[in-house]
Amino acid sequence: MKFFLLFITFIHLCILVSSTPKGSNLYQRPSCSISDPFPIVFKEEYKGDINFLVIGDWGQHGPGTGQTPVADAMKTWADKNHTTFVLNLGDSFYQTSNASTTNVTDQVDHEGVLSKDDPKWKSYWLDVYGGQLKNVRWFSVAGNHDWYSNVAAEVDYFWDNDSRFFLPSLYYVRKVTFGKDISAVFIHIDTDPFYYNYTAYTRENNLKATLQEFNLYTYDQITARLNWIEQQLIDNQDADWLFVVGHHPLVGDCGLENTAQSYLMYLIPPVLAKHNASGYFNGHTHELSYMAPSSSSGVAYFGSGAGGATLGAGCANPTWSAPFTFGFLSISIPEDGKILSFEFVKANSTDTDPSVIYSGTINSRKCS
Ligand SMILES: *[C@@H]1O[C@H](CO)[C@@H](O)[C@H](O)[C@H]1NC(C)=O
Ligand SMILES: *[C@@H]1O[C@H](CO)[C@@H](O)[C@H](O)[C@H]1NC(C)=O
Ligand SMILES: *[C@@H]1O[C@H](CO)[C@@H](O)[C@H](O)[C@H]1NC(C)=O
Ligand SMILES: *[C@@H]1O[C@H](CO)[C@@H](O)[C@H](O)[C@H]1NC(C)=O
Ligand SMILES: *[C@@H]1O[C@H](CO)[C@@H](O)[C@H](O)[C@H]1NC(C)=O
Ligand SMILES: *[C@@H]1O[C@H](CO)[C@@H](O)[C@H](O)[C@H]1NC(C)=O
Ligand SMILES: *[C@@H]1O[C@H](CO)[C@@H](O)[C@H](O)[C@H]1NC(C)=O
């Protein structure tokens, strides 16, 4: 296993409360709201290269879903390749039945988790992903299904139970250094307020109520988060790699204005392109997909939303996509930090021998 060290810098933008760390958590919970960007940058150091797996929309649990085949294939892959960490793109917990409304009074079958005590932590996550996947952190963002019941409970679980499910806040930044003094910065964002037009929204009332509770529903509140994202990109222009991680898609036409349902998502790609982000990761569309950098944008868009559910309808006009295919994405950057290799891995059966169905490379921001 790789040398792993995670520590924090104390740049306080809001007051850190003094509390005894619980569980395996090394950090102190600030008094900020979960919708305030986390006030410190998390720093990680790894020796050698980094290999990480990217998975979204995996909390579709039970027979007939893709969760188990994907989990088994990921375990095989992670054990063999010494996976450094997982990027979890959200929709970590669905409800099992196909009921179309959120039933937060149903203790057994509900969207998301109801609390940090929810048995779904064990049945949907801890009991499913084994081997090396248990040794590493899952750097997470929330998806809409996480919001439907109690998104704050996922943040509570990080603080009070198990910091491997890494979600200190809905918005946070990690600075990873590895290999020959290479830096990769990950800006983890909650795209739910960017994706759902609060004013027009009538369904899934709990999402609407929760966006309101966390002050993420007015245009000004949402664009304040966009300004924060832009500031993080500006502050990290010296990074070799600069990634943004969210739940909702920006691949192909999904990044354009006036695509169905996407509300303010179209504000994000110009900011990523302007500051030469290396890549954006999303789930939500239940397929594997990719959009390559172009002459107008140096950003690579990676869709990995097939960790448990799969569908045929994704974003139009990607460079590549694999509908109706369960799987995950593997990324590796060698210690010289120059070229990232990615592999989309199909895991459509209980056969634990995963197969690569699409692969490619992108260059570091410093040698493009
Ligand atoms: C990871 O392991 C699989 C086999 O389990 C192999 O095919 C693949 O090339 C490896 N990928 C990396 C990036 O090492
Ligand atoms: C989904 O719900 C509908 C209506 O309740 C039912 O007819 C259908 O069989 C359900 N499908 C599955 C896969 O459970
Ligand atoms: C929600 O779940 C509870 C407990 O299972 C059940 O009694 C109730 O009828 C459900 N409500 C809806 C609207 O499905
Ligand atoms: C999380 O920790 C609390 C105590 O803080 C405990 O009651 C609860 O059972 C834990 N949750 C899980 C899923 O283990
Ligand atoms: C959001 O919904 C409202 C009400 O339907 C509508 O007037 C507005 O144009 C929508 N905004 C966007 C950006 O789609
Ligand atoms: C950002 O990319 C543009 C073109 O894609 C390039 O002209 C510019 O030099 C880049 N800036 C940095 C800081 O790398
Ligand atoms: C993957 O599995 C799903 C569900 O069993 C199936 O509908 C689909 O055709 C399979 N896709 C491939 C590419 O094998």
pLDDT tens by residue, 35-64: 999 999 999 999 999 999 999 999 999 888
Mutate to test the pocket of ligand 7, among 67, 286, 346, 348 (most ligand atoms within 8 A of CB): 348
The answer on pLDDT for 22 being more than 90 is no
Between 3.60.21.10, 3.40.220.10, 3.50.90.10, 3.40.50.1820, what CATH number should domain 4-367 receive?
3.60.21.10
Cα 189 from Cα 324, distance rounded (Å): 27
This prediction's pTM: 0.91
Torsion from C-alpha of 211, 188, 113, 54, nearest 10 degrees: 140
Closest CA to 170 of 212, 194, 142, 147: 142
Distance 79 CA to ligand 2 centre (A): 38
Nearest ligand 4 atom to alpha carbon 160: 5
- For residue 99, which ligand has an atom nearest its CA? 2
The answer on pLDDT for 13 being more than 90 is no
CB atoms within 10 A of CB 187: 26
At residue 7, the pLDDT reads 38
Closest CA to 186 of 287, 86, 288, 321: 86
Which tens digit of pLDDT belongs to each residue from 165-183? 999 999 999 999 999 999 9
Tell me which residue has its CA closest to atom 11 in ligand 1.
81
Strand order of the β-sheet with 241-245 is 4-8, 41-46, 172-178, 182-188, 241-245, 279-282, 300-304, 288-291, 320-322
Kindly list the domain boundaries of the chain, sorted by start residue: 4-367
Distance 99 CA to ligand 2 centre (A): 8
Please state, in angstroms and as integers, the Cα–Cα distance from residue 97 to each residue in 27, 104, 150, 263, following that order.
37, 13, 18, 28
